[in-house]
Structure formats: C-alpha cells, structure tokens
C-alpha cells in the first residue's frame, strides 16, 4: 500500500500525541499541526478507510497495528536524523525541519547506515 508523506505525518503526529495524552482527537491533531479541523477530518477519514487508524464514538483516535508500525518508523527516522544533524553542528530548528523532510524520502538502506554511524559515534563518545 502506497502511503503519502502527509499520511505519514498524520500517523507520526497521532503517535506523538498518544505518548503525551490519554486520548487523541482530531482537534488535538489540528492544533498540533496548525491545520484546519476540516482538513484533519478528511485526512482521518482517509486513514480510517486505509485501515491505519480507528475512531470510537467519542472521536478518540487510535492507531491500528499497521498505522502504528508506520508511525513508529517515521518517529524513529525523525529522531535519529534530527539528532544526527545536530551532532554535525546543525542548529536544532534547522535539524528538526530538515529531518522532517528527509525522513520521508530516504531509503531504508541509507537510513540504517546513518543510524549505525550515529550510534557508533555516540558509543565512542561515552567511552
């Protein structure tokens, strides 16, 4: 199934919000992303139709197993890439913005190589 960058961003945002809050609602997503509520509603409908989220009768949004897998992958990519860029001297604001763009286009192979390199460098610094 082809997942677009916007869907990956929504899933990652739901994941992040679920770590902070007991429940996630469309209004929370709209506020977090600074999007309109109608835009978020359309996106949630699309994610629901793809089987990536579930929404209960109270409007509480949860990730399905497949939605969670995508969200965790995007979150890991974003975290590792932004930390790696900051370790190279990129300021935090630019590192976070660039990581957000890179995380969607980088190949699995390239990401794993960066991750390995970054983690090896961290372990060397702690010795």
Task: Tell me the CATH number at 53.
Answer: 1.10.10.10
Q: Provide the pLDDT for residue 93.
A: 97
Q: Which domain holds residue 97?
A: 73-125
65 and 14 share one domain: yes
Q: Residue 120 corresponds to which tokens in the numbers above?
A: 């090896």
Q: Provide the pLDDT for residue 1.
A: 61
Q: Provide the pLDDT for residue 125.
A: 72
Instruction: Report how many domains make up the chain.
Output: 2
Closest CA to 67 of 84, 50, 80, 45: 50
Q: What's the whole-model pTM score?
A: 0.89
Of 46, 69, 92, which residue constitutes the final position of a domain?
Answer: 69
Q: Provide the pLDDT for residue 113.
A: 96
54 and 107 share one domain: no
86 and 113 share one domain: yes
56 and 32 share one domain: yes
CATH of the domain at 83: 1.10.60.10
Q: Provide the pLDDT for residue 87.
A: 93
14 and 63 share one domain: yes
Of 50, 69, 88, which residue constitutes the final position of a domain?
Answer: 69
pLDDT tens digits in sequence order for the chain, 127 residues long: 667 899 999 999 999 999 999 999 999 999 999 999 999 999 999 999 999 999 999 999 999 999 999 999 999 999 999 999 999 999 999 999 999 999 999 999 999 999 999 998 877 776 6
Distance CA 13, CA 84 (A): 21
Q: Provide the pLDDT for residue 14.
A: 98
Q: Provide the pLDDT for residue 127.
A: 64
Distance CA 12, CA 5 (A): 10
b vs e for 67-97, b when ≥16 Cβ sit within 10 Å of the residue's Cβ? bbebbebbbebbebbbbbbeeeebeeeebee
44 and 87 share one domain: no
| CB proximity list for 99: less than 8 A, separation 6 or greater | 77, 78, 79, 81, 82, 85
């Amino acid at each position: 199934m082809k997942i677009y960058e916007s869907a990956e961003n929504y899933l990652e945002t739901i994941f992040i919000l679920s770590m902070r809050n007991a429940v996630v609602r469309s209004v929370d997503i709209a506020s977090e992303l600074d999007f309109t509520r109608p835009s978020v509603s359309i996106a949630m409908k699309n994610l629901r139709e793809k089987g990536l989220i579930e929404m209960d009768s109270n409007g509480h949004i949860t990730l399905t197993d497949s939605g969670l897998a995508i969200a965790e992958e995007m979150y890991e990519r974003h975290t590792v890439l932004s930390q790696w860029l900051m370790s190279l001297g990129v300021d935090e604001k630019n590192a976070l913005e660039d990581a957000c763009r890179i995380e969607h286009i980088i190949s699995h192979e390239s990401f794993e190589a960066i991750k390995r390199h970054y983690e090896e460098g961290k372990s060397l610094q702690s010795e």
